[in-house]
Structure 1
Amino acid sequence: MNLASPRSLFFLAFLACAAMLGTGFYLQYMIGLEPCPLCILQRIFFAGAGLFSLIAALHGRGRRVYSILVLLCSLGGAGTAGRQIWLQTLPPDQLPSCLPPLDYMMETMPYAKIIWTMFHGSADCAEVTWTLLGLSIPEWSLLAFVGFALLALFQLLRRG
């Protein structure tokens, strides 16, 4: 098995996305860190990139189409992580107000408004509750999304 083949690289990307999601669920259910709205959006982008990577690895055809889909998910996730990092740098008096729980928003708001509200972020998103090697969760997510975007670009631009 050639590790540099398109199918192998897509499968490795899928495994990395699964590891990122698994880490998020571990931090939520085992450590007790509740995800903020931007964290939930980042999970959705990880799931999308992982799903498209898995389909590309299994399908073996349409490499460019799947690369574009993975790239779009990666860019969306990078933008969301970047927004959260920006919120973490704001002084406390400039933070947006806290949001109601997601369950409440799902019952009372249209979906487009929920997504807009979630992407806007809240004071919860600015809280740094966990770090590894001096980097917060959204900083690690941003690094992962940049890696997935680079892999998708490589897959998109490679010959053969």
Structure 2
Amino acid sequence: MFMQWIFAAPRRSLALMSAACVAMLAFGLYLQHAVGLDPCPMCIVQRYALVGVAITTGLASLRPQKTWQKIWAALALLLAGFGAFTAARQSWLQWNPPEFSTCGRDFYGIVENYSFSRALPMLFRGSGDCSAVDWTFLGGSIANWSFLWFGAFAIVLAVLLVRPSR
């Protein structure tokens, strides 16, 4: 019944997904500014992926044309997959921390001082910051929960893309 409700109105589903992304971004900012947790480079990459999913699903929900929705939903699916990959990599680093933990450079230091082709591998290499678990909920870290949400977004988007139009 829940799945039928989601897929019966794709515009509503896309708008709810956009709202969920905004809520997650707000919670991340709350953890950063009110609780005092500093985001690691991989956390910031996940935030950008969330912003991308929020914008693309929001744009997809604005117009009733199926072509418009499918184009933006496909882009949102790519961004959700990228976010899920980043969160999975960070979760793996948390379960298997590097032998030598170093703080490394921060996200903006990497992006400003290196070319994109050199900066991207550095971000995914992780550091001591990315392997630290500073907050948990029901036994899962922020990266674990982020992976679950990105995965859920990707599944819903994929089903919306492959289901036949009415």
Structure 2 length as normaliser, TM-score?
Answer: 0.88
In 2, distance between residues paired with 1:137 and 1:34?
12
Matching residue of 1:63 = 69
Query: What's the RMSD between the two structures over aligned residues?
Result: 1.7
Query: In the alignment, residue 137 of structure 1 is paired with which amino acid?
Result: I
Equivalent residue for 1:155? Answer: 160
Structure 2 CA distance, aligned partners of 1:107 and 1:93?
27
CA contact (8 A) 1:41 1:119 kept: no
Measure the CA separation in 1 of the matches of 2:89 and 2:70: 28
User: Contact 2:17–2:153 (CA<8 Å) still a contact in 1?
Assistant: yes
Provide Cα deviations, 1:5-41, integer angstroms capped at 9, x if missing partner.
1111110000011011111111001100000011001
**Aligned mates of 1:16, 1:76 — CA distance in 2:** 17
Q: Which moved more, 1:121-130 or 1:84-93?
A: 84-93
Residue identity opposite 1:80 in structure 2: T
Q: Does 1:126 align with 2:92?
A: no
Report the TM-score, using the length of structure 1 for normalisation.
0.91
In 2: Cα distance, 1:20 partner to 1:121 partner: 22
- Structure 2 counterpart of 1:26: 30
Q: Check the 8 A contact 1:63/1:155 in 2, yes or no.
A: no
* Structure 1 unmatched ranges of 5 or more: none
Match of 1:83 among 86, 89, 93: 89
Q: Is the contact between residue 18 and residue 54 of structure 2 (CA under 8 Å) also seen in structure 1? A: yes
Whole-angstrom distance in 2 between the partners of 1:91 and 1:148: 28
Does the CA-based 8 Å contact 1:38-1:119 persist in structure 2?
A: yes
Which aligned pairs between 1:138-153 and structure 2 lie closer than 5 A?
A: 138-153=143-158
- Count of aligned positions: 158
Match of 2:11 among 7, 11, 23: 7
Give the residue type in structure 2 aligned to 1:70. Answer: A
Structure 1's 78 and 106: CA in aligned 2 closer, same or farther, altered over 3 A?
closer
- 1:65 positional shift: 1.3
SS in 2 for 1:93: coil
Partner in structure 1 of residue 99 of structure 2: 93
Retained in 2: the 8 A contact 1:75–1:149? yes
2:42 to 38, 47, 58: 38
Deviation at 1:87? 0.3
